[in-house]
Amino acid sequence: MKRMIFAVAAMLSMTMAFADNENTNSVNNAEAYNMNINMNMLSRALDLTGDQKASVADIHKVFCAEMDFAGQSSKEERGTMMNKAINKDLAYMHTVLNEEQYKKYVMLLNATMANRGLK
């Protein structure tokens, strides 16, 4: 009887440990798609004008929403949704930024994606 109780307790604790890992992984994945950044630091890094700052903030807000949506979608759709969001963001940024600013933005975006394990 004692062995059976220990076996059940061990089985329950292992089940809880595996369930905890699954929840942690899904939370970490969702957090990786959170693209909120400090706009003041970005505007300083890119040397944005006032008009550019407002436009970049609006474009980035849309990008954040699309990336959050991609992070919450299924694994099969996640990659294509992320690529669409990135391509749309880059197209909009290319219209607002000059060539030097755009190159720097692409470099920063690539570094951010690599640091979050998305690329």
- Residue 23 is predicted with a pLDDT of 42
For 71, residues 6+ apart whose C-beta sits below 8 A from its C-beta are 29, 30, 32, 33, 34, 78
For residues 75 and 18, give the distance between their C-alpha atoms in angstroms, rounded to a whole number.
20
Kindly state the helix (H) or strand (E) to which residue 36 belongs, with its residue range.
none
- The whole-number pLDDT of residue 6 equals 59
Please report the pLDDT score of residue 14 as a whole number: 59
Chunk the chain into consecutive blocks of 10 residues (it has 119) and report each block's average pLDDT, rounded to whole numbers: 65 57 49 81 92 94 91 86 94 96 94 84
